[in-house]
Structure 1
Amino acid sequence: MNSNILKKTFLLLLFTFYAENISAQSKDVLWYKQPAEFFEESLVSGNGKMGATVFGGVNSEKIYLNDITLWSGEPVNANMNPEAYKNIPAIREALQNENYKLAEELNKKLQGKNSESYAPLATLEISNAEKGKATNYYRELDISKAVTKVSYELDGIKFTREYFVSAPDQIMAIKFTSSQKGALNFDINLRSLLKSNLEIRNNTMMMTGNAPIHENAGYNVQPKYLQIPERGTRFTTLLQVKNTEGKVSNNSSTLTVKNASEVIIYISVATSFNGFDKNPATEGLDDVTMAWQNLNNAVSKTFNKLEERHITDYQKFYNRVTLNLGKTTAPDLATDERLLRYADGKEDKNLEILYFNYGRYLLISSSRTLGVPANLQGLWNPHLSPPWSSNYTMNINLEENYWLAENTNLSEMHESLLSFIKNLSVTGKVTARTFYGVNEGWAAAHNSDIWAMTNPVGQFGKEDPMWACWPMAGAWLSTHIWEHYIFTQDKDYLKKEGYPLMKGAAQFCLNWLVTDKKGNLITSPSTSPENQYKLSDGFVGATLYGGTADLAMIRECFDKTIKASQILNTDAAFRTKLETALGKLHPYQIGKKGNLQEWYFDWEDNDPKHRHQSQLFGLFPGNHITPVKTPDLAEASKKTLEIKGDETTGWSKGWRINLWARLWDGNRAYKMFRELLRYVDPDGKKTATPRRGGGTYPNLFDAHPPFQIDGNFGGAAAVAEMLVQSDENEIRLLPALPDAWEEGSVKGLCARGGFEIEMNWSNKIPQKVIISSKKGGKTTLIFGDKKQDIVLKKGDKKEIIF
């Protein structure tokens, strides 16, 4: 081969490599040409307990710090309204008489306190001595490593920063470097919106303080700091500087670095939170000692060693799943520009993959603390009074956070929620008895917080029943226990922890049901989360009997509890009760518009396009409505979605994409997925033509708006749902594959029954499928009208060619 041919071959290979690896949009990196000005442009990281929000400023850097265990309040008094249940007969009587206005007013008597709030920990500010306009600015978050980087040039000197939050070492580490010796000069300040005290000595800042004690009387209310001794959660934030050359000095509020070439900042945080039922002041953990131990352990290691340990730990979760959606011709643009281009209808398959990967990144980063699941904002909150208290909203939002846990191979992250459910069952026993007059099992309502509050909220009668009065969270959450079992096949967990919780939720529902005029079992009183009906006389209300959503969740709860008891070969008599009740539940009704009725009667919706679609629970996340098993109900569900339309809030888009996927309409699911990724301006940004509504902020955070993380999680879960769907007996491949994804591959998605799937497809047809089993078992693999029975032993895998 002559030199010209060799040269051309080399250039062709180089061009191919460049095209595929450099110019193509990244699947793993968010990057920007400018610092963040708003929270919704920042880059976030976390280790499941500590969170950091990095702005990447040049003259001044700002980093919000959070600890997922720092909340207002203290253990809840579950017995706050001990005789509330005595109002139930009057409410039921009003409903029986069809006096909905009276029932609405009486329903307010079944209310307790509102939830506590997730609190911001601190803000780290780093002010550079050298001011000026930077050139060659670059900011990125590499979600394949969970590492953030910033670089820029100022007066011919290149400055770089690297940031990560480590799970194995429980610290945040930041490394500053300069291309010129001694060019690092900056001040460090640490502030908190909470009551706190700051001390500085020996290159170390120490901030200690307390979260407030207050009952959040309503959303967006400033906390009241009550001067009560031995109350509230303590917190400690430690920051230590390690420098190469130069000098570190301090005054009472600032650490100053001068003439350094490399600086490493270590941050350690801890709180006294010691469990939902322990007083954090008198029975709390020693936050000061814990923070110092983590700091001292980290400082003894090099930055490179800390980073290596962090990446190794993180990638054991992140690297389990890889997704490819085929060739892309999208140009290499910054992430915010990329979103804007995509919003104009342009193709960018790798942005779609990035969004999916980012959802998994966020769950790994925000859900690794037992008993403290990811909240409405994951764990990233800068506000003293965050939207909706950044609490656990359990009529959809908390559950949506965990839809991707099992099927995208992050089962360990699910444990934060599962252990929280166990906490809820404790307070929930009191709630069942005192608010609902049910002496068996446990109940939970619309909102909760770190203290596992389960009572219906509403400030003891001051709030609207349409959101405040709803007791079905236990039924919904119990299905997550089954999901964890059916994906992992962890029978030991099901026996020791899971089944007793499922049984308790089912016991409450069984005792809460009453018989209607037709002899069917219904709930009374009932509401459908946050929605209202409109009667022919003009009355608009929320309180009724036999709401479809209640009964859908009870169906799912009973069905899964029956299956769990069969697997464990236990509670035969109780199982029979559930089976009998299941057969007597008021059946689904199809309305005059062909829709699945939300209400017992075929009433009008006050808002026909309402963001909640709770009556479709049986389709998703439940699975007792399917196009095969219940075609009429599936068609009615489709009609319901068509009436509602596609324009809605971020989290609701996430839910609707999953619903369309379950209806096997890949193109409609994809249309909504594209709309979920529609660019939304940061909340505080003023523009001539503002882009608002549900969608995605520049940093890929979900826009409710404001920011709620549930849309990120729901959207990522939906991608997996479009590619693989499963139940206890079968696995469907590419059930909702859109035309836009006609070729691709995926590795690592999980299916119910303890299976894992690897496959590639072309022309929307699977070419090669590798199925492996974690515990051994059998399933039926389905693609279109093709079926193949699979039996595998533990650890075995099988290759199938379609």
Structure 2
Amino acid sequence: MTTETTLRYDSPADLWTDALPLGNGRLGAMVFGGVAVERLQLNDDTCWSGAPRSGSAPDGPATLAAAREALERDDVREAERQVQRLQGGFVQAYQPLADLWLEQDAAADGYERWLRLDEGVAGQSWATGAQEAFVSRPASVVVVHRTWSGGPLRIRVTSEHPLDRPTGDGTRWSTTLRLPSDAPPDYVAGAQVVRDRGPGTSITAAVALEVVTDGVAAAGPDGLVLRDASWVTVVVATATDYVDATTPVHGDADELRAQAAATASAAAARGASALRDEHVADHARLFDRVALDLGGNPAAELPTDVRLRRHAAGEPDPGLAALAFHYGRYLLIAGSRPGTLPMTLQGLWNDAVQPPWSSNYTININTEMNYWPALSTNLAECHEPLLRWVGELATSGTRTAAELYGLRGWVAHHNSDAWAFTESVGDGTGDPSWACWPFGGVWLARHLVDHHDFTGDPVDLSVVLGAARFVLDWLVELPDGTLGTRPSTSPENTFVAPDGLPASVTTSTTADLAMARDLLESVVRLGGPPDLLAEASAALARLPTERVAPDGRLAEWRDDVEDVEPEHRHQSHLFRVHPGTSIDPDQAPDLARAALATLDARGPDSTGWSLAWRLNLRARLRDPAGAEAMVDAFLRPAGSGAGVYRNLFCAHPPFQIDGNLGFTAGVAELLLQSHRTAGPVRELHLLPTLPASWPSGSVRGLRARGGVSVDLAWERHTLTAARLVADRDTTVLLRHDDTTERLDLRAREAWSLTR
């Protein structure tokens, strides 16, 4: 099997979205690849503005009651005013840490640049030198190894944050810095970054570097200068005083500086070769679990940006989709490892103090999408940061549910951050279409359920049960005797109200009911306290299911109202198609047809991450032509609209990493689906939605629910080989082409099919 795993370029990066990402889950680097001036923009996943805080809007339960009363009399504007009174402040922002600069008098003749996804190494070469860079998880450092002929090399460190007492001595240099105490979202007009240096108001960080060289190093105020050298290994380490979402920061700068310096020194003493070998082995242990081949491709040796342009012009290049698939897995490995924080809107990588949407955790789709491929593409370990953080969110959200709403369980809204913010954002002025949405915890609970279903590993069921308790308390009895949600929104979407203006606050959106049903059904299946199970079962009997609107679409709103934006980027009312598991052409054919009609009505284009979501939806709805259109739309070069940048980062625009991860998950869904069950037996559907442009290929190492590894090969759109290995004894229904057969799989014994 051949699989494409290298991004290639014939020039250095001009823009941040041309640079190549490296990471070990905690440390990130964007490598620009310059010769005369090289920049590595550095991130540490614990670098956030602000500090722990708590407190909800006063008189929350009374305000909630007033909003409900307004909706009962169809006064949507009063309901909007009331839900705005429930809003807290804004979340904090993920921060850049520093920039590492390498500068020398050199020409870039014969230049090449690359990122080897299978190694996690970014490299460049030119007529008189070469460079490799990687971020080692075992050693917890950034490593740059450069060789050249002629001239001194200057190594500098700069930052968007003021440096405190930068010091150097021979081959060593270090500094500390304070992050902002408040970095408001970039969309809040006039909001200013605050740098309160008082105790406990913000995170303190340290950066230390050490070099090993055959030349002579001299330290200066912003770094080091090397003379009479032909090679250097630069090792960079960081440390911060962030502990977790609730522990106050203590700000011992000298302790952090010493910690970072010791880490850099220990790594530097081992040498570049040993560090590289160790790093590649650690990275490959995860990356090599899956391989995808979509057919031979002579374009594989072309620069990646050239391939994007050719593909957009109609030149067939199925290998480009395979490369983007592996890029998503690479980004997940680089951006999320056990013990780290989850990936933000921009993953591990951000260069702005006020980044787009604060580079936060947007939990009405985007954070969840970041982790869609973790289980299906055999990276369950990389799921751990999200699951652990959701536990912290549940702790914070329990307080918010009680204080803000007077309800049981735990709640999270539209945005969060490293401090597990769970209140409704907006500061009293946020548009309710996005600020009034208390179902973040409900959606996130789906990840714990999926992790259990894929791996069989235990998860913190109390988090799932807590989310369910909140839903049960949030539901209200409606005049027709059914249960519903009030107030309710469909994330970020609006309808035309009776006064002719856009509105979002209403009763019982389809998205709310779909997520509530999905969660309560999971609780009944997984088990819990008898009283809670009885309560969940009773609620399910009274929850309306999705309905088909008169125009044939799956209705998004309780009433047949006009959409303000018919081609809206969100399609949350299709939740039970994906990431839910209950609507597909077999289980609910009428609803599946309506869901497909909804996607068609949404149009052929959208933001980058929405295209990835629609790829997953069309995969579940078994629409190969529609899925192929989403692949092609996603892989076009980003200009003024969606697509991918030169480095394959997804363009919302601007850059959001969720599209990259969602695309990878979508490709996996095209090749293997395991969401259906027949009683206790899991169905494994092989090649359910194979695009016409992928007539032949193979994949190794995909994972199905029930703990089954799956290898596949196909020719002329027909399955030719399959291999299944289960983690434990299990029975599955194997579905492919027009056949279904029952298989009893024995633990760790391979079952094979060859044609």
Whether TM-score is above 0.5 comes out as yes
Equivalent of residue 599 in structure 1, options 537, 551, 557: 557
1:443 aligns with 2:411: yes
Contact 1:250–1:256 (8 Å) recurs in 2: yes
Does residue 45 (structure 1) correspond to residue 22 (structure 2)? The answer is yes
Give the equivalent residue in structure 2 for 1:419. Answer: 388
**Paired amino acid for 2:358:** S
Match of 1:303 among 272, 279, 282: 272
Q: Which residue of 2 aligns with 1:228?
A: 198
Q: TM-score, normalised by structure 1?
A: 0.91
Question: How do 1:559-570 residues align onto structure 2 when only pairs under 5 Å count?
Answer: 559-565=521-527, 570=528
Query: Does residue 227 of structure 2 align to residue 258 of structure 1?
Result: yes
Equivalent in the alignment of 2:655:
707
State the Cα distance separating 1:329 from its structure 2 match: 4.4
What's the CA shift for 1:371?
A: 5.8
Distance 2:192 2:440 in 1: 28
For 1:369 and 1:779, locate their aligned partners in 2 and report how far apart those are by CA, in whole Å: 31
Q: CA deviation at 1:273?
A: 0.6
C-alpha separation in 1, matches of 2:474 and 2:736: 41
Displacement, 1:58? 1.7
Question: Residue in 2 aligned with 1:11?
Answer: none
- 8 Å contact from structure 2 (residues 712, 719) kept in 1: yes
Within a 5 Å distance, the mapping from 1:401-412 to structure 2 comes to: 401-412=370-381
Residue 285 of structure 1 deviates from its aligned partner by 11
Aligned to 1:695: 643
1:144 equivalent among 110, 118, 136 = 118
Cα distance in 1 for residues equivalent to 2:560 and 2:406: 30
Larger CA deviation: 731-740 vs 570-579? 570-579
User: Would you say the 8 A contact 1:432–1:441 is kept in 2?
Assistant: yes
2:747 corresponds to which residue? 794
With over 3 angstroms needed to count, the CA separation of the structure-2 counterparts of 1:215 and 1:56, relative to structure 1, is closer
Is 1:717 the counterpart of 2:694 in the alignment?
no
Question: Shift in Å at residue 405 of structure 1?
Answer: 0.3
Percent of aligned pairs sharing the same letter:
38
Q: Distance in 1 between matches of 2:479 and 2:699?
A: 52
Residue among 95, 104, 122 paired with 2:80: 104
Residue 576 of structure 1 and its aligned partner are, at CA, apart by 2.1
Superposed CA deviations along residues 510-550 of structure 1, whole A, max 9, x for unmatched, are 11000112111101001110110113440311100101111
**C-alpha distance in 2 between matches for 1:290 and 1:256:** 24
**Equivalent residue in structure 2 for 1:62, among 39, 42, 55:** 39
SS, match of residue 85 in structure 2: coil
Task: Report the Cα distance in structure 2 between the residues aligned to 1:801 and 1:252, rounded to whole angstroms.
Answer: 66
SS in 2 for 1:746: strand
The 5 Å alignment of 1:168-317 reads: 168-178=138-148, 180=149, 183-197=150-164, 198-214=166-182, 216=184, 219=187, 221-244=191-214, 246-281=215-250, 286-317=255-286
1:405 and 1:744 mapped to 2: Cα distance? 22
* Contiguous gaps of at least 5 residues in structure 2: none
Match of residue 711 from structure 2? 758
Q: Which residue number corresponds to residue 688 of structure 1?
A: none
Q: Report the secondary structure of 2:302's partner residue.
A: coil
2:448 corresponds to: 481
Structure 1: gaps of 5 or more residues: 1-19, 681-690
User: Is residue 635 of structure 1 aligned with residue 605 of structure 2?
Assistant: no
| Count of residues paired in the alignment | 747
Residue in 2 that maps onto 1:5? none
What is the rounded CA distance, in whole Å, between the counterparts of 1:547 and 1:628 in structure 2? 25
Q: What residue in structure 2 maps to residue 389 of structure 1?
A: 358
Correspondent of 1:770 among 720, 723, 729 = 723
**Contact 2:433/2:491 (<8 A) preserved:** yes
Change (3 A) 1:381 1:463: same
State the Cα distance separating 1:70 from its structure 2 match. Answer: 0.5
SS in structure 1 at match of 2:210 = strand
State which drifts further: 701-710 or 556-565. Answer: 556-565
Matched-pair contact (CA < 8 Å) for 2:178–2:202: yes
Q: Counterpart amino acid of 1:538?
A: G
Residue 645 of structure 1 is matched in structure 2 by 603
Aligned: 1:123 with 2:76: no
Measured at CA, do residues 285 and 788 of structure 1 come closer, stay the same or move farther in structure 2, by a change above 3 Å? farther
Residues 422 and 759 from structure 1, CA distance in 2 versus in 1: closer, same or farther, beyond 3 angstroms? same
SS in 2 for 1:108: helix
Q: 1:66 aligns to what SS in structure 2?
A: strand
Partner Cα separation in structure 1 for residue 331 and residue 297 of structure 2: 25
Tell me whether 1:33 sits opposite 2:10 in the alignment: yes
CA contact (8 A) 2:4 2:300 kept: no
Q: SS of the counterpart of 1:71? A: coil
Task: Tell me which amino acid in the other structure corresponds to 2:347.
Answer: G
CA contact (8 A) 1:222 1:384 kept: no
> Which of 24, 45, 53 is 1:76 aligned to?
53
Is 1:661 equivalent to 2:619 in the alignment? yes
Query: TM-score scaled by structure 2?
Result: 0.97
Shift of 1:200: 1.4
Preserved contact between residue 413 and residue 441 of structure 2 (Cα < 8 Å): yes
Deviation at 1:428, TM superposition (A): 0.3
SS of 2:243 mapped into structure 1: coil
Find the counterpart in structure 1 of residue 439 from structure 2. Answer: 472
> How many angstroms does 1:259 deviate by?
1.6
1:297: Cα distance to partner? 1.9
Output the aligned Cα RMSD: 1.7
8 Å CA contact retained: 2:494, 2:502 = yes
Residue identity opposite 2:178 in structure 1: N
Between stretches 532-541 and 112-121, larger displacement belongs to: 532-541
| Counterpart check, 1:551 vs 2:513 | yes
SS of the residue aligned with 2:168?
strand
**Partner letter of residue 207 of structure 2?**
T
Maintained 8 Å contact 2:396/2:420: yes
Letter of the 1:463 counterpart: G
For residues 469-512 of structure 1, what are the alpha-carbon distances to aligned partners after superposition, in whole Å with 9 as ceiling and x for unaligned? Answer: 1000111000100110111011xx23xx2x11110000100110
Letter in 2 for 1:486: D
